[in-house]
Structure 1
């Protein structure tokens, strides 16, 4: 299993200012699909963060265009035709506790924030941890272009 990070989703959707590695990401997605190297999961966090990046675009034309692309991707997830499945998480006290505790990283949310690992990236790690806890015999990594997040992936 491989969780798709916001950096990958932004490149695929060609979000201005967030898609400088688009060709590389598209080629890697094609390679992953052809080789069936790993099943891809789309974390809820990546959807929310990508939507926030889109909403913050200054140019209304690009804001609408990217929002339409994001909505289109979400529809493919709903229909089961996307190259990934949605990682369904239960947002509850246990999830928040894992987030505050830093998941399996051994470092708390506070320390991660001080070291510039954002809450969204930490939550992707927690989503992965919780996925692993409810499945057996599976490994899961994170497909990301973010160096700090990759160090935990």
Structure 2
């Protein structure tokens, strides 16, 4: 049986961090994380895309106090990743021409970046799929999906 890996989407990270306006499913996501940790049947990877998108959501919060509080929580979670204390590891990627080419071509989705944009799948979501594809290409014996609340992304995950 293949080892299971799940890439943590921005929607999940925002809920876990309690980002105002982006955490309407917080209780459900916290419970899902607890279940995943207890089951120990998959490894969680944090894609670079989720880090960048979450940071942008935090930076766009209207209130300075909530922006700071949320940014401090976010920095704390990232510190835990660096120290190996988070429930997930960072998906280390090489951002190079091959990565961009896969992004433009849409990876294994069967549609290009342009087609996805026209159908409202954002570049960040597509990039998470590319990160997953590249992970699968360099790893054997693994089944990789995306843990997300986004229905469109989930349809490709």
Give the CA RMSD over aligned residues. 0.4
TM-score under structure 2 normalisation? 0.97
For structure 2, the 5+ residue unaligned runs are none
Structure 2 distance, partners of 1:65, 1:110, is 37
**TM-superposition CA deviations, 1:128-152 (whole Å, max 9, x none):** 0000000011110000000000000
Q: Select which of 29, 32, 35 maps to 2:33.
A: 29
How many Å separate the matches in 1 of 2:116 and 2:41? Answer: 31
Aligned partner of residue 139 in structure 1, secondary structure: strand
The counterpart of 1:107, out of the listed 106, 111, 122, is 111
- Give the aligned partner of residue 53 of structure 1: 57
- Number of equivalenced pairs: 153
Counterpart of 2:92 in structure 1 is 88
SS at match of 2:45: strand
Which residue of structure 2 lines up, in the alignment, with residue 40 of structure 1?
A: 44
Q: CA deviation at 1:37?
A: 2.1
User: How does the TM-score come out when normalised to structure 1?
Assistant: 0.99
CA-to-aligned-CA distance 1:76-114 (integer Å, 9 cap, x gap):
000000000000000000000000000100100000000
Q: Distance in 1 between matches of 2:111 and 2:18?
A: 33
Q: Secondary structure at the match of 1:122?
A: helix
Distance 1:137 1:57 in 2: 41
Structure 1 stretches of 4+ with a deviation exceeding 6 A read none
